[in-house]
Amino acid sequence: MPQSTADLLQNALKSLETSMPDIEATAVVSADGLVIASRLPADVEEDRIGAMSAALLSLGERTVSELNKGDILQVIIKGTAGYTVLMNVGKTAEAVLGCMTNEKVKLGLLFLEMKRAAEEIGQYF
Amino acid sequence: MSNFKTKVIQRDLNPYHSFLASFFAGLGEMGLLNQGSVNIVSKRAADYLFSYMEVKNILPEQKEMEGKTDEERIEYLVEHINGILSLLGRYQIKSAGTDKWSFLIEGNLCRICPKGVGGAEVNGTLCPIPSFIENLVNLMMESGRLQLLTKGIIKEGPICRSEFRLIS
């Protein structure tokens, strides 16, 4: 039986999470801040995270544009307990891929895995 | 007649409509606002407006809703809200199945649209109405709870549609 887009996205997120033990949560959010698929902790309000993630990436895009720094690659938020990394998904940035990690994560490897996941997820839009 | 002048006259905009719509539009264009955050912020606005209506003693009369069907109650409350805020020019609440309704707004007559009125040049929608109506109606209803089924507005030509259901 063919899988639904929702299932395909969940599988892609699960695959991303299992690629690195330091990844704690993942989500795919539409460009207008609505959660499409997520693997977030139960105590997190996913609607708020979705809205904030899309806004953060959108602000990042505008900042990069205003400062003539080319095209945005990621928005990285560093906290004392870990990182949140956001990047665009899809040829025309239809969605945002978000990844939350612990503080020990190897960022270079994370970027590679997220890029791979974003390319896969982008096919479903 | 200029496009903007037509808009002001056709939609019967007051200064508050113009201010709010353009303010939202500006925030949207800066990347600070999207449909997801509008949905969350609209709930806050509904809570605040309910408190305002309590202070001003302009909440709807509960006795006016006695004997009304669920659809009539929702229509009455939405009309009450629009009577105070005058955000919508023309709209319709239409049954979409058991305990489900479509809320259809004539987009060309909406007075608060950040895109149609405020001129926001953004992809997607920034409509505060569905989440605002859902939350304010729920604060006013003594029984039952309205639940928004769509995550904002679905544009269907000139109509802006959202779907709700009533939970007992």
For residue A60, give every residue at least 6 positions away whose Cβ sits within 8 Å of its Cβ, in sequence order, or none. A72, A75, A86
**Single pTM value for the model:** 0.90
pLDDT tens-place string over residues B56-92? 999 998 888 888 888 899 999 999 999 999 999 999 9
pLDDT tens-place string over residues B84-143? 999 999 999 999 988 899 999 999 999 999 999 999 999 899 999 999 999 999 999 877
Nearest to B115 by CA among A94, A13, A106, B123: B123
Give the per-residue SS3 of A31-95. Answer: CCCCEEEEECCCCCCHHHHHHHHHHHHHHHHHHHHHCCCCCCCCEEEEECCEEEEEEEECCCCCE
Q: What is the mean pLDDT of residues B35-60?
A: 96
Say yes or no: B124 contacts chain A, CB-CB below 8 A.
yes
Task: Name residues 26-65 of chain B within 8 A of A (Cβ).
Answer: 30-37, 39-40
Q: Do B36 and A34 touch (CB under 8 A)?
A: yes
Taking contacts as CB-CB distances below 8 angstroms, the residues of chain A near B150 are none
Taking contacts as CB-CB distances below 8 angstroms, the residues of chain A near B33 are 55
Q: Between these two residues, A1 and A49, which has the higher pLDDT value?
A: A49
Q: Do B34 and A58 touch (CB under 8 A)?
A: yes
Taking contacts as CB-CB distances below 8 angstroms, the residues of chain B near A51 are 34, 36-37, 39-40
ipTM for the complex? 0.85
Taking contacts as CB-CB distances below 8 angstroms, the residues of chain B near A30 are 36, 124
Residues A26, A16: contact at Cβ < 8 Å? yes
Pick from A29, A30, A58: CB nearest B31: A58
Distance between CA atoms of residues A60 and A79, nearest Å: 18
For residue B130, give every residue at least 6 positions away whose Cβ sits within 8 Å of its Cβ, in sequence order, or none. B39, B42, B103, B148, B150, B152, B153, B162, B164
Residue among B33, B35, B121, B122 with most chain A CBs within 10 A, to mutate: B35
Instruction: Give the pLDDT band (50/70/90) at residue A1.
Output: low
Task: Give me B159's structure tokens.
Answer: 């109509």
What distance, in Å, lies between the first and last C-alpha atoms of chain B? Answer: 50
Say yes or no: B123 contacts chain A, CB-CB below 8 A.
yes
Distance between CA atoms of residues B154 and B161, nearest Å: 5
Q: Do A34 and B123 touch (CB under 8 A)?
A: no
Whether the predicted pLDDT of B36 surpasses 70: yes
Pick from B32, B40, B125: CB nearest A32: B125
User: Given this model, what pLDDT does residue A48 score?
Assistant: 95
Say yes or no: B135 contacts chain A, CB-CB below 8 A.
no
Nearest to B22 by CA among B90, B87, B141, B114: B114
Q: Which residue has the tokens 């200029």?
A: B2
Instruction: Give the pLDDT band (50/70/90) at residue B1.
Output: low
Beta-carbon count within 10 A of B60 CB = 19
Q: What angle do CA A100, A101, A105 make, to 5 degrees?
A: 145
The dihedral built from the CA positions of residue A115, A51, B23 and B134, taken in this order, carries a sign that is: positive
Give the per-residue SS3 of B126-159. Answer: CCCHHHHHHHHHHHHCCCCEEEECCCCCEEECCE
